[in-house]
Amino acid sequence: MAPDPFLTEDQLVGVLTDLQLAEAVINYDRLQKITNKRDFKDTIYNLIFKHYNITAEQLSDNLDYYNFDPKNMERLYEEVLSNLSTLQSEIQVEALTNDTIAEDPKE
């Protein structure tokens, strides 16, 4: 039986992509010893759940539902990885562009 609320595959991929990005920020923050990791993680996760209008429990219920089909779940995680790879490429292009602008001798 489908969970309530039911997240579509696209919604689930969006949530998982955002959670992976959050983990990267949390780990960077931890390495820099900027904030209390637990409070920071809770805050970021709560923002993501609020954005998608779900709770951690509802996400867990949806993951349980989708995990009944491991091949489909693997495909969804491949989409998450593709999203992250695309974001990484966009950031790298932007960083190179900003570096080029900063080094422009005309300025």
Encode pLDDT of 23-80 as tens digits: 988 887 666 676 666 777 889 999 999 999 999 999 999 999 999 999 999 999 999 9
Supply the Cα-derived Rg of the chain in whole angstroms. 18
Question: What pLDDT shows up at residue 31?
Answer: 64
Cα 23 to Cα 27, 42, 64, 81, distances in angstroms: 6, 11, 21, 14
Dihedral of CA 60/66/69/70: which sign?
A: negative
